[in-house]
A and B are shown apart, each in its own frame.
Chain A
């Protein structure tokens, strides 16, 4: 790792993480970006081609990074058939083209599915994180073992900021699975190790969340598209899918009861909005009133509102139920190892080792250029995460952010912030064409 990146990562130590003025960080950011791009170009051919096509020899301004950013879809750009036909070596060859180290030297003998493929890579120093796409195609992002250590370090510093420190003193309730290779599982594991001790960490299930279940969906879609799936096969598959979506729930009452039994202790509770409502409902059944939790308990909620019927005021309902507890907020994603914490004034602060870029909606023009200060720019969020060396971390998101380039946050800390108004750019633009694929002919459980 280059010196500037290392210096940036060393900055921002607890307890006050965010204390650097942007003009102090800018030269280091550019120096680090230049060093990282120069090194990564040698390793990642796509990055090198992009740099050559854009005529970028070195990074001297933030805008030089714009043509080099990868969208998240880059990490699922492999041919689906590599998974379907168990071409693990070829899949590793693809992964290597997006990585700073060679994953093809790993021996994949005996690997039967992509979960085992990721396991095998992790055993050999390639910390691959997967994401599970709704389309049935998973993304794979490679990191080094050192990257993972840096991620754990960042989590240790950042979790709970600015309201609490993750010091192992709480009971930890994670309303989901924690074994598996995607980033939520990684967050569950890291969170448990930081907030709690093994005796006091509880997960909804110890069953492994398998990528195979997702790719099975893709394979089924393919069989239907090819016209070879039989009615009996589809019926069995749909039944299996339903069973799977309900499978997490047999033990949920006991799990929630244990959580409620400990409500007078300091807890850390993470779950989806729908799950928090389930906790509330169970509490009502037991006659537990709103606001019955230890005031230092930490409650975080998010995600999981797709395909779930929630009341319009679900956030208020959950807030009312837990009452006066600590609500931390983080903004992050699989592609990022250093998170952004929400301060008392509900704004997200950026760790020094994260270079923020705000682009126009098309993702082509940089809006938070060096000379823009003191105004709020609205656009598509992108970043370079200097904690990641196992691949090129320059990433463009689909998130629309309001980015305040002011010298100080309302909370008094220096540096730019992101307002608590993050949304997704939507693409349903009401255009209709006569061209399309067999995907439009596959419906039901498979379409979701």
Chain B
């Protein structure tokens, strides 16, 4: 009988305009990773354009009340649904159990009133423009003009590497009042349905709840996407992750159906020669770098991968040696011993071990951290707590490695940021942070070079 139990597929729930739907009509994957979903009822997932969305006229203050309730529900877990979702995720999500548990535990904190007020103030200049028509004075023509951040119809193609992606997407979706269909990623099948189930639990039938649907279909499934990805149903495609999610979506983007892209990103650290001033500064720089590297065990785009160290190869080796033990220390969203280093990275690192002085390798593959010092950045994409340390004569020499795919740049010490930030931005970087503070991702600040709330609404004017 044990065989039967282990072959029971995981059940993934859909949400149809606020109402959770269970079922096992469709099956995906094989073996241990097999999962079943309800039938895909496209009519139930979308909203007719002939009528306004359920929350178009719901005051933001009321929506915030509901979201705060949701946050509290997530922390209290009165129905055990959070625990269920976490248990299911632990069986299928590649993240180590500790990191995943912590990520689920912090879901509720996404929905604090202070955060929401800050977001609306920062990104839109206040709730007035969401709830009604903001008067614009001083137009050159002298006319009286009003604008509104009007709710939009958005299909979200979510990334699954961190449960926070679904949470922040829901937060933005709810505050902007539009109708939203969330396409679940196969690497996180549970967290977004959980959030919507929570919404259904705390405010059944509330317009915000009725404005959200979630479903799984295989990314790129033309039978589904060619039908849904149309201006008749949606204004925007909010897609995370680039190539994989855009493989087919690209064909559907056109007049009336625009792309809001959360592109795939790499993050790096710039460590100034001040790190070598004393044993204490070296320790501090290594600790700060480790904090940035270990975010979600390096599965997040903000997690640092390349460490450009201002100094000689020998100094870079000193830094690497100081960094290694810090990668084995448990953090809030990083494990002491995570997943082993993936085989493809291991192959490349193995080759580098025999190429001294070009390269030097610190640590092993068991998941406690691995540091590879090379003359130039490695060809592979470091992950699972693998840091690539590259010596540079001056931090400015690392600018050539910064491009539009660079998201967060952690700088040590903080005093070096001011002289570097314009050049970093010019090269394409989107976020300059004091080293060690990268994991503090604050809603309401720019994301990948734009204010998401501004992109998730339709700006409409009423002109005199």
Q: What residues make up the interface of A, taking CB atoms closer than 8 Å to B?
A: 45-46, 49, 70-71, 73-74, 77-81, 90, 93-94, 97-98, 137, 225-227, 429-438, 440-441
Q: Is the CB of B301 within 8 A of A436?
A: yes
**Which residues of the other chain, B, contact A73 by a CB distance below 8 angstroms?**
344, 347-348
**Which residues of the other chain, A, contact B403 by a CB distance below 8 angstroms?**
225-227, 438, 441
**A93 in contact with B241 given A77-B347, A438-B404 (CB within 8 Å):** no
**A434 in contact with B161 given A73-B344, A81-B376, A440-B242 (CB within 8 Å):** yes
B227 within 8 A of A: no
**Which residues of the other chain, B, contact A226 by a CB distance below 8 angstroms?**
400-401, 403
Closest Cβ–Cβ distance, residue B419 to chain A (whole Å): 21
Listed by A's residue number, 11 A-B pairs whose Cβ atoms lie within 8 Å are A77-B351, A79-B374, A93-B355, A94-B354, A97-B351, A430-B186, A431-B160, A431-B185, A431-B187, A432-B161, A432-B187
Q: Who on chain A is nearest to B305 by CB?
A: A435
- Looking at chain B's contact residues, the main secondary structure is loop
Closest Cβ–Cβ distance, residue A67 to chain B (whole Å): 11
Q: Is the CB of B245 within 8 A of A90?
A: no
Q: Is the CB of B185 within 8 A of A432?
A: yes
**A71 in contact with B343 given A93-B355, A436-B265 (CB within 8 Å):** yes
Q: A73-B347, A430-B219 are in contact. List 5 more A-B contacts (CB 8 A).
A: A433-B160, A433-B161, A434-B265, A435-B301, A438-B404
B339 within 8 A of A: no
Most buried by A among B162, B351, B353: B351
Bound together, the chains give a CA A436 to CA B161 distance in angstroms of 12
- Which of B243, B354, B378 lies in contact with A45, CB distance below 8 A? B354
Bound together, the chains give a CA A90 to CA B348 distance in angstroms of 15
**Which residues of the other chain, B, contact A93 by a CB distance below 8 angstroms?**
354-355
4 pairs of A and B residues whose beta carbons are closest in the complex? A436-B264, A433-B161, A77-B351, A431-B187
Most buried by A among B374, B376, B428: B376
Q: Is the CB of B245 within 8 A of A432?
A: yes
The size class of the interface chain B forms with chain A is: 35 or more
Q: Which of B355-406 contact A (CB under 8 A)?
A: 355, 358-359, 374-376, 378-379, 381, 383, 400-401, 403-405
Bound together, the chains give a CA A60 to CA B161 distance in angstroms of 42
Q: Is the CB of A440 within 8 A of B264?
A: yes
**Which residues of the other chain, B, contact A81 by a CB distance below 8 angstroms?**
375-376
Q: Is the CB of A46 within 8 A of B354?
A: yes
- Which of B240, B344, B355, B378 lies in contact with A434, CB distance below 8 A? B240
Q: Is the CB of A432 within 8 A of B157?
A: yes
Most buried by B among A81, A90, A440: A440
Q: Which of B188-221 contact A (CB under 8 A)?
A: 218-220
**Which residues of the other chain, A, contact B165 by a CB distance below 8 angstroms?**
434
Bound together, the chains give a CA A78 to CA B243 distance in angstroms of 26
**Which residues of the other chain, B, contact A433 by a CB distance below 8 angstroms?**
159-161, 187, 241, 264, 299, 301
Bound together, the chains give a CA A77 to CA B353 distance in angstroms of 11
Q: Is the CB of B240 within 8 A of A437?
A: no
Q: Which of B224-267 contact A (CB under 8 A)?
A: 240-245, 262-266
**Which residues of the other chain, B, contact A71 by a CB distance below 8 angstroms?**
343, 347
Bound together, the chains give a CA A77 to CA B159 distance in angstroms of 30
**Which residues of the other chain, B, contact A225 by a CB distance below 8 angstroms?**
403
Q: Who on chain A is nearest to B220 by CB?
A: A430
Q: Is the CB of A436 within 8 A of B355?
A: no
Q: Is the CB of B299 within 8 A of A435?
A: yes
Q: Who on chain A is nearest to B266 by CB?
A: A437
Q: Is the CB of B358 within 8 A of A79?
A: yes
Q: Who on chain A is nearest to B28 by CB?
A: A430
Q: Who on chain A is nearest to B33 by CB?
A: A429
Bound together, the chains give a CA A440 to CA B403 distance in angstroms of 12
**Which residues of the other chain, B, contact A227 by a CB distance below 8 angstroms?**
403-404, 427-428
Q: Who on chain B is nearest to A224 by CB?
A: B403
Bound together, the chains give a CA A182 to CA B319 distance in angstroms of 42
Bound together, the chains give a CA A226 to CA B218 distance in angstroms of 34
Q: Who on chain A is nearest to B240 by CB?
A: A434
Q: Is the CB of B158 within 8 A of A432?
A: yes
Q: Who on chain A is nearest to B267 by CB?
A: A435
Closest Cβ–Cβ distance, residue A211 to chain B (whole Å): 17
B303 within 8 A of A: yes
**A77 in contact with B405 given A431-B186, A433-B161 (CB within 8 Å):** no
- Which of A80, A94, A436, A441 lies in contact with B379, CB distance below 8 A? A80
**A434 in contact with B262 given A77-B347, A79-B374 (CB within 8 Å):** yes
Closest Cβ–Cβ distance, residue B374 to chain A (whole Å): 7
Closest Cβ–Cβ distance, residue B86 to chain A (whole Å): 19
Bound together, the chains give a CA A71 to CA B345 distance in angstroms of 12
Q: Who on chain B is nearest to A93 by CB?
A: B355
Bound together, the chains give a CA A225 to CA B343 distance in angstroms of 25
Bound together, the chains give a CA A441 to CA B265 distance in angstroms of 10
Q: Is the CB of B405 within 8 A of A74?
A: no
Q: Is the CB of A438 within 8 A of B405?
A: yes
**A435 in contact with B264 given A79-B378, A93-B355, A430-B218 (CB within 8 Å):** yes
**Which residues of the other chain, B, contact A46 by a CB distance below 8 angstroms?**
350-351, 353-354
B300 within 8 A of A: yes
Bound together, the chains give a CA A430 to CA B264 distance in angstroms of 15
Q: Who on chain B is nearest to A438 by CB?
A: B405
Q: Is the CB of A437 within 8 A of B400?
A: no
Q: Is the CB of A94 within 8 A of B186?
A: no
Closest Cβ–Cβ distance, residue A78 to chain B (whole Å): 6
**Which residues of the other chain, A, contact B240 by a CB distance below 8 angstroms?**
432, 434
